[in-house]
Structure 1
Amino acid sequence: MYVYITVNKKFDDQIRVSYSKTEIVDHVDQIEHNIIREALKIAGIEKGIEIVYMGDIPLGSAGVGLGSSSALAVGVLHALFAYQGKAVSAEFLAQKACEIEIDRLGNPIGKQDQYAVAYGGFHRYRFNADETVFVDPVICRPEMKEALQSNLMFFYTNMTHISSHILAEQKENIPQKMRNLDRMVEMSCEAERLLQQNALDDFGALLDEAWKLKRELASGVSVPEIDEMYAAARKAGALGGKILGAGGGGFMMLYVPENARQSVREAMRRYREQTVSLEPEGSKIIYVR
């Protein structure tokens, strides 16, 4: 799934930003769209430009758990620097997108979305205490990646969430939830090992354990409707899964062996299924005039 950004020189000195609404302003500080405004400031562009964006999934204030705000931040930065004739690295894009969302806008979020969008591929990310980030490829057989992609199913819960509300509570709960968080860090190592060993069904079961731990991090991570949806999927043959993003709505990802996919689809017939593929390249410029 993608976010598409187009940048063009404007005939006059105004700035036009077009998304679900259109803004036409005289100066960058007048732009209401906070991510676009801050990206323009970082790129040093104050006037005479048009920015248009659209996405394969909704890009609104309420989240769906697929990292769309970070995809927009990384993509707009990439487009703006390319517009200026500047080549920038994935690391630079990820860092600057984090600066926008975390430092400038004060959102209580992590860095995983920005780095995943910028780098693409199949990686393990280590976020260190000194603010450095290690990005290492997961080394596994190509057929394992294909099988993993086939066994992952995504369903829209028909609910959205305000991730900042959930994450703010989650941040407050960190001292009381260190055991959960430590185990979740351990599970990232375990998950990588299982993938390298082609133990896909064990990876699916690990998702179930991870979801149970995540549900305990904040009260809004799950709601009765989500619990019922997940229980129905498990009963139909899913080995594990989770709500993507902060929780409370958006998309549910399920790990489903091939022999159970049809029964899971039947159990999830009230919900829209969405096909999602692994993206090997991350953010990229696809056309320069």
Structure 2
Amino acid sequence: MRARVPLRLGLAGGGTDLSPYCDEFGGAVLNVTIDRYAYAFIEPSAEPCVRFCAPDIGQEEVFAPDLEEIAASRLLLHAGVARRFTRQFCNGKVPTVCITSFVDAPPGSGLGSSSALVVALVEAFRNYLGVPLGPYDVAHVAFEVERLELGLAGGKQDQYAASFGGMNFIEFLGSDRVIVNPLRVPASVLNELELSLVICFSGVSRSSEQIIAEQQRRLHTPGTDAVAGMHQLKADALDMKDALLRGEILRLAKILNRSWEAKKRTASGISTSGIEALRDVAMNAGALGGKVSGAGGGGFLMFVVPPARRVAVIQALRDAGGTATGVHFTNDGAASWRT
């Protein structure tokens, strides 16, 4: 059994999918999936054991088929999904399988890679066991495993982006309600936006948990900069949706800059001297707007550039030590197939 799910770029509103903000005020995020993926394979084990393999990070573990045994795994995501499906769909009997995964981006990339991997594992198990779960169900199970059962800090947008795929405006409401609104953006606008985007890996893979924990602490205090910053980020998501549907790429770049300033108000550590240096390089080379994708502190930056300056911006970022490329959008979400 093979599963593949796309990673995403967070265009606007990132952070407003965090509790307690989305529970009290409602969150809104605009994101798009790109041609980088998380993969998960499940195969029957030839031996009475459970094997977890993650060759991209150099880890492999073997356990007896027992819930308590696999709970000790260092590959938390593999173990978390395996335990959830064992309890919910296998009457507590752990399947003897080999689960292999890899991701087209490093952990802490800001592209939602960890959550995309959880979705890939959920989708692979769904198909392997023949469980009738739709895209909302897959995203919700992935969210529960990652955030509630494993206690890993973060929001909800990554799971839904990976499960559905495409360009989506996603609303996060009280009582754990999520509404995914696929945007019907004209093809000419998507082509222009794709040509206008440059992404750059900062060279730093960061853990977002400290930043997210600080955001959540500050969000519990009404009237702080964090709350005001989140309000602006949500407004920017709405504004960017309108700009996209109207095909106003220059306006989108301005919103990106405004969101970057608002995001930095929600927690310390979101920006670093290295991030600001790369951003300055891109802007001096002709970029119109830019910010980090994800929680901040490292990972990928994204820039809107005039297409005629695309090559120059990429070269300037590479000369400054960044890993810069263009990017391609994808429409498909989580997919799985048997071999």
Instruction: Indicate yes or no: 2:57 matched with 1:22.
Output: no
Cα deviations by residue, 1:53-86 (Å, 9 ceiling, x for unpaired): 1121224xxx111111111111101101111123
Residue type of the partner of 2:84? I
Answer yes or no: is the 8 Å Cα contact 2:110–2:295 preserved in 1: yes
Q: Does 1:208 align with 2:257?
A: yes
Report if aligned partners of 2:201, 2:299 keep a CA contact under 8 Å in 1.
Answer: yes
What's the % identity of the aligned pairs? 28
Letter in 1 for 2:44: K
Question: Is the partner of 1:11 in helix, strand or coil?
Answer: coil
Q: TM-score, length-normalised on structure 1?
A: 0.95
Larger deviation, residues 38-47 vs 194-203: 38-47
Q: Does 1:104 align with 2:149?
A: yes
**In structure 2, C-alpha distance between the alignment counterparts of 1:275 and 1:71, rounded to whole Å:** 21
Q: Give the corresponding residue for 1:34.
A: 76
Aligned to 2:236: 187
Give the one of 208, 212, 218 matched to 2:267: 218
- Alpha-carbon distance in structure 1 between the residues aligned to 2:304 and 2:291: 9
Q: Distance in 2 between matches of 1:179 and 1:3?
A: 34
Aligned pairs, number: 285
> 2:180 and 2:120 mapped to 1: Cα distance?
19
Could you tell me how far apart the structure 2 residues matched to 1:256 and 1:220 are? 26
2:198–2:304 CA contact under 8 A, matched in 1: yes
> Does residue 282 in structure 1 map to residue 327 in structure 2?
no
Identify which range, 28-37 or 72-81, moves more after superposition. Answer: 28-37
2:227–2:266 CA contact under 8 A, matched in 1: no
| Helix, strand or coil at the partner of 1:268 | helix
Rounded Cα–Cα distance in structure 1 between residues aligned with 2:271 and 2:210: 13
- For 1:221 and 1:81, the matched residues in 2 are separated by 36
Please tell me whether the aligned partners of residues 193 and 249 of structure 2 are also in contact (alpha carbons under 8 angstroms). Answer: yes
Per the TM alignment, residue 142 of structure 1 is displaced from its structure 2 partner at its CA by 0.8
* Structure 2: gaps of 5 or more residues: 1-35
CA–CA separation in structure 1 for the residues paired with 2:246 and 2:69: 53
Q: Secondary structure at the match of 1:280?
A: coil
Any idea what SS the aligned residue of 2:335 has? coil
Does the 8 A contact of 2:110 with 2:294 survive in 1?
yes
1:215–1:222 contact (8 Å) kept in structure 2? yes
Could you tell me which residue of structure 2 aligns to residue 12 of structure 1? 47
In 2, the alpha carbon distance for the partners of 1:41 and 1:69 equals 17
1:96-135, aligned counterparts within 5 Å? 96-135=141-180
CA–CA distance in 2 between the matches of 1:55 and 1:35?
13
Question: Is the CA contact 1:122–1:138 (under 8 Å) kept in the aligned structure 2?
Answer: yes
Does the alignment pair 1:50 with 2:89? Answer: no
| Higher percent of residues as strand | 2
Which residue in the other structure is 2:26 paired with? none
In the other structure, the counterpart of 1:248 is 297
Q: Distance in 1 between matches of 2:80 and 2:314?
A: 42
Read off the aligned partner of 1:209 and give its amino acid letter.
R
Q: 1:108 Cα shift?
A: 2.2
What is the SS of the residue equivalent to 1:220? coil
Q: Any stretches of 5+ residues in structure 1 without a counterpart? A: none
Question: How large is the RMSD of aligned CA atoms in angstroms?
Answer: 1.3
Distance 1:16 1:49 in 2: 6
